[in-house]
A and B are shown apart, each in its own frame.
Chain A
Amino acid sequence: MKIHLKIWRQKNSETPGKMVDYTLDEISPEISFLEMLDILNEDLLKKGEEPVAFDHDCREGICGMCSLYINGRSHGTEQGITACQLHLRSFKEDDTIYVEPWRAQPFPVIKDLIVDRSAFDRIIQAGGYISVNTGSAPDANAIPISREVAKEAFEAADCIGCGACVAACKNASAMLFVAAKVSHLALLPQGQVEKQSRVEKMVAQMDKEGFGACTNTGACSYECPKNISLSHIARLNREYLTAKLASKHLS
């Protein structure tokens, strides 16, 4: 099939970028979207031009490295997948496809389609864990956890930290990302001890990184490759409110 591409090219964080046109002919609809970019890059290299830089690693939808904004949507228009799981069979002959990096102030562009998502790491560092040193754990079956709770915690822990939620949000809010972690740990008995300080610290860091406010539009959850539910944001709000009411750090 034949497709036309408009791809964001930007040499580095200091240089302004622009959309550049490319056309690919005679490519198989069975290949993945990233394999299509591989083909484009091979063509560019053959011509002595710089290939398009993009983040990718596992190519099976679990590492969260790929971060392409395709036709105005995080990871493309299909639901519940990452860009690496998108195949060209989702497009039509002669389609024009727009490929951009995540657009959000806290995710500055490093080069072409690659952005800096270290803000997410700093939010986790602020409190997204249970403080348990190696070796001090009790027997794994000491605390029974109901199947339902384990399942719901798993569904929150499913987050791959790709940033699609932020890219999809008009306010570049990171609420779904933060909510997934807060919810995962708040649901489990092991997470109870630190639950108050955890939510306070994580939300404070989220604000510090410059992510926008949540208006419950739901684009984040809709675009999330792991279908993380908005109900986790509700739980985050509840946890945050409860924490603040009892907080020692009223500000």
Chain B
Amino acid sequence: MTLDAKIPNGFLAEKWTQHQFNLKLINPANKRKYDIIVVGTGLAGASAAATLAELGYNVKVFCFQDSARRAHSVAAQGGINAAKNYQNDGDSIFRLFYDTIKGGDFRAREADVYRLAEISNNIIDQAVAQGVPFAREYGGLLDNHSFGGAQVSRTFYAKGQTGQQLLIGTYSALSRQIANGKVKMFPRTEMLEVVTIDGKARGIVTRNLVTGAIESHNAHAVLLGTGGYGNIYFLSTNCMGANVTAAWQAHKKGAFFANPSFTQIHPTCIPVHDRHQSKLTLMSESLRNDGRVWVPKNREDKRHPNDIPENERDYFLERKYPSFGNLVPRDVASRSVKQVCDQGYGVGQTGLAVYLDFGKAIKRRGMDAIKHSYGNLFQIYEKITNENAYEMPMKIYPAVHYTMGGLWVDYNLMTTVPGLYALGEANFSDHGGNRLGASGLMQALADGYFILPRTIADYLATLPYDKISTEHSAFKEAEDNAKNRINQLLALKGNKTVDEFHKELGLIMWNHCGMSRSEASLKTAKEKIKVLEEEFWENLSMVGSNEELNQTLEKALRVADFLEMSQLMVTDASHRKESCGSHFREESQTEEGEAKRDDENFTYVAAWEYQGKNKSEVLHKEALTFENVKLTQRSYK
């Protein structure tokens, strides 16, 4: 099978407009004859579901949380980018496109990223119309700040809770359609299988998390807005329930997985403090606008940070990258922090932390201004660490945050399974090897509000209206698969808990397939995961039954998929012998220790095809061509 990304011809700036004209339409009266399933109620899923319902389709929506309003988009702090150029500082659609392509280290498609930048402005309009209370200037117009990796101010924000406010927007749009009867909502329901008939996605099998009922749902198309798989590392900034099951099960049914090893490690998180720690908390990188990152110049310096004089501090980001300083992109900042800590300069009890200091900013801008910009972030920090960051520097360390990898999709957001779409973090499309700050919310909403509702019609128009009954053997087979998986797990009466397995897997991935990877470390990871997976299926300790609310079973199902998925991540990381974006390959670095990309051999998307349990996956390459930007080695010096 050859991958066809279906990128339209024509000039970059005209591709999307032209493409929309070429797409088939569906008559308003006929839209109600189509059923669409949406899994996930984050920004991507909820915005798509609401918009499709507004257009007249019948939509069924599923989420594992108790309410659609709780999906983890809610936790995004910093903001959302748009090329409005309200600040008159030279921004444009092309500049947002260029920054995103460059920030992603030239591993994303030009056409997709340009469309994203184009649509960014509509998203802000839509959100404001819904009542999203973005920050404003004294004259009442919208305020912007600059954000990691950008030299213009294009980020719209609502304190440090931009994700929450945007999600309330999508949730209310979704709620309106539930009230209209166009959306049927299934909370506390987890998708376990995609059902394909004649090679097309025609439904899903779910488990009701309260009763345990295994149920089939049919539709003309299935959309996955199920987020990323950063939780494979156990400790991450993801919510506890985030998992790869929907995407992984789709992969097993024929959807290719693209660039699975591209994982973003966010530089500014609260450091790990205890072995019982269950998750990590992000401190928005907007803090780097005013905070200065440093470590003591002397390794043995155990003084209180406030007692260490200026000339004995190493502001290492400002030293190494004079033109971007503390605002270098996430991957560069994370690696630098890891480097100084590995060299023994780290601070705090574990030595795995660096300072983020606001002392100078408070002197320059005044306490009130700092409180206005970051008040709630300082509060979160204090709640967790019991330390007051107005009085002493914060301590930060990198943590797993986002997965750029995801299901491979074409320009229409369709996976390699016809009728199966992936949106938001669940797809691989726009961020290449590294996502820029404030671009995640933008992409999720571009996909959900503006792209998918337009492109899906082109596919649906080729289908007959007829529904396929859930009595069809394909549904029965998928139900049996799910039930067998559950029974197999419930029969395990070993003595290791699912969390213990998950933590072990996380540690293997963090140590050997984390911020930097090498041939040797990846080989170790592969061997260790294999052993761990075998042990999981023998020695897992399970309790309870399927026919009840059983959180142990929920976790076990997710970890079983993480164990399989992690092996694909390692395979992908091994094959990509270049450093690029957040993927730092030790064998591929410059003399100064910076990442070295290999455009000659790796300017492609790696899309993996599942072949069956314990069989090597087949690699398909989608070559990336750049006609509008020149490939340069990123330099933030």
A contacts, CB < 8 Å to B:
11-12, 27-28, 30-32, 34-35, 38-39, 42, 45-46, 48-51, 53, 55-65, 81, 85, 87, 89, 110-111, 114, 116-118, 120-121, 124-141, 143-147, 150-151, 153-154, 157-158, 160-161, 184-185, 188, 190-191
With A and B bound together, what is the CA distance between A130 and B159 in angstroms? 22
A-B residue pair count with CB separations less than 8 angstroms = 217
Shortest beta-carbon distance, B575 to chain A, in Å? 34
A161 x B276 contact (CB < 8 A): no
Q: Is B165 a contact partner of A154 (Cβ separation < 8 A)? A: yes
Residues of A within 8 A of B172 (CB): 124, 128-130
**Contact present for B549 and A57 (CB under 8 Å):** no
- Nearest residue (CB) in B for A139 is B125
B274 contacts partner chain A, Cβ-Cβ < 8 Å: yes
B binding-site residues for A, Cβ under 8 Å: 47, 50-51, 54, 65-70, 72, 74-75, 84, 86, 122, 124-142, 158-159, 161, 164-165, 168, 171-173, 175-176, 178-179, 185, 187, 210, 239-241, 273-274, 276-279, 281-282, 380, 383-384, 386, 449-450, 453, 495, 497, 499-500, 541, 543-544, 548-549, 551-552
On whether the beta carbons of A190 and B86 are closer than 8 Å, the reply is no
**CB-contact partner of B66 in A11, A28, A34, A55, under 8 A:** A55
Kindly list 7 other residue pairs between chains A and B, CB separation below 8 angstroms, not including A135-B122, A137-B125, A190-B130. A57-B240, A65-B66, A121-B185, A134-B173, A135-B126, A157-B132, A190-B131
Alpha-carbon distance A191/B541, docked complex (angstroms): 53
Complex Cα spacing A60 to B280, Å: 9
Q: Which residues of B contact A63 (CB under 8 A)?
A: 65, 70, 72, 74-75, 239
What residues of B have a CB within 8 angstroms of the CB of A65 in the complex? 65-66, 70
Question: Are B549 and A53 in contact (CB-based, < 8 A)?
Answer: yes
Please measure, in the bound complex, the distance between the C-alpha atom of A130 and the C-alpha atom of B126, giving whole angstroms.
11
Contacts of B159 in A (CB 8 A): 154
**Distance of A138 Cα from B128 Cα, bound (Å):** 9
Give the shortest distance, in Å, between B313 (CB) and chain A (any CB). 27
Interface centre among B129, B165, B276, by most chain A C-beta atoms within 10 angstroms, is B129
Q: Which residues of A contact B126 (CB under 8 A)?
A: 132, 134-135, 137
B240 CB contact (under 8 Å) in A59, A87, A143: A59
Q: Distance in Å from the Cβ of B50 to the closest Cβ of chain A? A: 7
Chain B, Cβ-Cβ closest to A48: B543
User: Which residues does chain B contribute within 8 Å of A85, judged by CB atoms?
Assistant: 380, 383-384
Name the A residues within 8 Å of B50 (CB-CB).
134
B482 to chain A, nearest CB (A): 21
Q: Using A45-B552, A154-B158 as known contacts, say yes or no to A129 and B175 having CB atoms under 8 A apart.
A: yes
Q: Which residue, B69, B241, B544, has most C-beta atoms of chain A within 10 A?
A: B69
Residues of chain B contacted by A114 (CB below 8 angstroms): 549
Q: How far does the Cβ of A63 sit from chain B's closest Cβ, in whole Å?
A: 4
Q: Which residues of A contact B165 (CB under 8 A)?
A: 154, 157
**Residue contact B133 to A58, C-beta cutoff 8 Å:** no
Contacts of A134 in B (CB 8 A): 47, 50-51, 54, 126, 173, 449-450, 453
Least distance between A180 CB and chain B CB atoms (Å): 11
Cα-based distance from A188 to B129 in the complex (angstroms): 10
Most chain B beta-carbon contacts within 10 A, residue among A64, A129, A150: A129
B67's partner among A34, A39, A120, A128 (CB-CB below 8 A) is: A120
Q: Which residues of A contact B548 (CB under 8 A)?
A: 11-12, 111
Chain B residues near A42 (CB-CB < 8 A):
497, 499-500
Compute how far the CA of A110 lies from the CA of B276 in the bound complex, rounded to whole angstroms.
27
Distance (whole angstroms) from the CB of B240 to the closest CB of chain A:
6
Tell me whether A146 and B74 are in contact (CB under 8 A).
Answer: no
B277 surroundings in chain A (CB, below 8 A): 31, 35
- CB distance B497 to A45 under 8 Å? yes
* Chain B proximity of A85: nearest CB distance (Å): 5
Q: Which of A35, A89, A147 contacts B140 (CB 8 A)?
A: A147
Q: Chain A nearest CB: distance from B86 CB in Å?
A: 6
Chain B residue with the shortest CB-CB distance to A205? B179
14 A-B residue pairs with CB within 8 Å: A31-B274, A39-B276, A56-B240, A58-B70, A58-B75, A85-B383, A124-B69, A124-B172, A132-B126, A132-B129, A153-B133, A154-B158, A184-B133, A190-B128
Q: Chain B residues near A81: list those with CB within 8 A.
A: 383
Is the pair A31, B380 in contact by a Cβ cutoff of 8 Å? Answer: no
- Complexed CA–CA distance, A135 and B125 (Å): 9
Give the CA-CA distance A219 to B552 in the complex, in Å. 35
CB atoms of A110 and B210 under 8 A apart: yes
Kindly list the 9 A-B residue pairs having the minimum CB-CB distance in the complex, ordered from nearest. A144-B140, A129-B172, A137-B129, A154-B133, A137-B125, A140-B128, A134-B51, A125-B179, A63-B70
**Inter-chain contact A34/B135, CB cutoff 8 Å:** no
- The answer to whether B66 touches A116 (Cβ under 8 A) is yes
Distance in Å from the Cβ of A147 to the closest Cβ of chain B? 5
Residue of A nearest to B72 (CB): A58
Q: Is the CB of A51 within 8 A of B140?
A: no
Q: How far is the CA of A131 from the CA of B53 in the complex (A)?
A: 13
A56→B168 CA distance, assembly (Å): 19
Quote the shortest CB–CB distance from A112 to chain B (angstroms).
Answer: 9
Q: How far is the CB of A174 from chain B (nearest CB, A)?
A: 14
Q: How far is the CA of A32 from the CA of B179 in the complex (A)?
A: 38
Taking CB as reference atom, which chain B residue is nearest A159? B168
Residues on the B chain within 8 Å of A132, using CB: 126, 129-130, 173
Q: With A58-B239, A63-B65, A117-B66 as given contacts, are A48 and B278 in contact (CB-CB < 8 Å)?
A: no
Q: Given A58-B74, A150-B135, check contact A125 B176 (CB 8 Å).
A: yes
